[in-house]
Structure formats: structure tokens, C-alpha cells
Chain A
Amino acid sequence: QMRLQESGPGLVKSSETLSLTCTVSGGSITNGLYLWTWIRQPAGKGLEWLGLIYPTGVTHYNPSLNSRLTVSIDTSKNKFSLDLRSVTAGDTALYYCARASVFCGGDCYVFEYWGQGSLVSVSS
């Protein structure tokens, strides 16, 4: 059974770097059929896609993050990570990692498996 688990500090100071790790179990992170993604959700609000990484290490990011984001992958540990630099109060949210698949001949991005989320607060 595929399972994803986020881990990292729950509190980060403003202007510092938010770092989270997603540990994948029940399958290999090197499987070329899947993409590994980060999504966040401020309290009471909607979902925001942050970025994704292929097993090869190729990444794509949400342009709104203004180059503050780096997603990396450690295939030896079956984990992938997020580093968000220069955080502000606006980065306070529940951060999810998820496994994505592409279906419909490339026209569907589908998030099949999600972690339970890691709540991160940014303090001044």
C-alpha cells in the first residue's frame, strides 16, 4: 500500500528557510510512471500546487513562488524534499506531499496518493 509521510519543523522564523521531507513507502520513488509533488493549503482556503519532481531529478515549479522553491529527490532513501526560502507569514499552511500520475494521453494530472499533511507556521 503506497504511503507518503511529511516531516519537518512546525515553526519557521520569517525570512528563513522552510524544509520538509516526504518519505515514501509501499513503492519505489524511482518508478518512472510517477511524479512527486508538493501542495499546500492555508487554513480554511484552497489548494496551491507548489512544484513537482521526476525520478530523474527534473523539476517544475509554480511561477508564483519567484524562484524561492527547490524540490529535490533522494532515490537511495526513497524520499523527496522541499526547501522554501525567505518565508513570510503568507507561507503559513498545511503542506502536503503527493504522488502524481499522468493519464488521458498526457492530459490529466492526477494526485492519487497524499500524505496527511505537515502544518507549518511562520513566526515573526
Chain B
Amino acid sequence: SELTQDPAVSVALGQTVTITCQGDSLRNSYAAWYQQKPGQAPLLVSFGLNNRPSGIPDRFSGSKSGSTASLTITGAQADDEADYFCNSRDTSGHHVFFGGGTKLTVL
């Protein structure tokens, strides 16, 4: 199974941006989303239907429709500029997939 993400997305400072992740595995599972800045390990920012780890700002929200999961950043900040990856599991529940990543630029 594959997860497809747009390679690059840009957003004006303070505006809202949605990053998508598409794949058949998402019909029966949910995505988790990670933010990765240069030289750092990925950081979990959202999973399932709008769940966030403690410490993650509420401007990050996750959703899903059919085979597409989305991460929405409402009021993007300069600090949100990073690569964003999604992941999900396959139908067996034993294997995991990552999307190719989306580079978010905040203008």
C-alpha cells in the first residue's frame, strides 16, 4: 500500500493550510502526522480524528474522508515551516507505511 502526499505546499503567514495524504489503506485506518525540521527527529503532531499529543498547539488538526487524511494548520506560524509526513497501517495491521512527505513553506 502507498500513501501519496503533495511534495510541497506554501501558505501565507497567519493563513490556513491543509496537507493531504491519500491511500487505499486509509479507508480502514487513520493517519498520524509528524512534523520534521532540519536536523531533528520527527515530532508527532496529530493522529486519528483530531487527536493531539500534549504540548501540540490546537492550530493543528487532523481529519479523514474516504481514502484521504488531512492535516490542517489554522493560522500558520513561521515556526510551522517544516516537512510533514503521514503514516498509516495496512489491512493486516502488521505493517506500517509513510507518505513521501510534504515540505511546507510559510511565506
Residues of A within 8 A of B (CB): 37, 39, 46-49, 52, 60, 62-63, 96, 100, 103-104, 106-112, 114-117
Contact (Cβ within 8 A) B41 A114: yes
B53 contacts A by Cβ under 8 Å? yes
Indicate whether A104 sits within 8 Å of B28 (C-beta atoms), given known contacts A46-B85, A47-B98, A111-B87. no
Complex alpha-carbon distance, A109 and B47, angstroms: 9
Contact (Cβ within 8 A) A112 B95: no
Q: Which residues of B contact A46 (CB under 8 A)?
A: 85, 98-101
Besides the known contacts A49-B98, A104-B30, 14 further A-B residue pairs in the complex with CB atoms under 8 A apart = A39-B98, A47-B98, A49-B95, A100-B96, A104-B29, A107-B29, A108-B31, A109-B29, A110-B44, A111-B34, A111-B44, A112-B44, A114-B41, A114-B42
User: How many residues belonging to B are interface residues under a CB distance threshold of 8 Å?
Assistant: 28
Contact (Cβ within 8 A) A96 B29: no
Q: Which residues of B contact A107 (CB under 8 A)?
A: 28-30, 48, 89
Complex alpha-carbon distance, A35 and B83, angstroms: 25
Q: CB within 8 Å of A: which of B35-78? A: 41-44, 47-49, 51, 53
Of all chain B residues, the one with the shortest Cβ separation from A114 is B41
B88 contacts A by Cβ under 8 Å? yes
Q: Which residues of A contact B41 (CB under 8 A)?
A: 96, 114-117
Q: Which residues of A contact B89 (CB under 8 A)?
A: 107-109
Of all chain A residues, the one with the shortest Cβ separation from B99 is A46
For the complex of A and B, the 5 pairs showing the least CB-CB separation, nearest first, are A114-B41, A60-B94, A49-B96, A47-B98, A104-B48
CB distance from B76 to the nearest CB of A (A): 22
Q: Which residues of A contact B101 (CB under 8 A)?
A: 46-47
Indicate whether A49 sits within 8 Å of B44 (C-beta atoms), given known contacts A60-B94, A107-B29, A112-B53. no
Of all chain A residues, the one with the shortest Cβ separation from B33 is A110
Contact (Cβ within 8 A) B95 A63: yes
Complex alpha-carbon distance, A108 and B53, angstroms: 14
Q: Among the interface residues B41, B51, B85, B97, which one has the most CB atoms of the partner chain A within 10 A?
A: B41
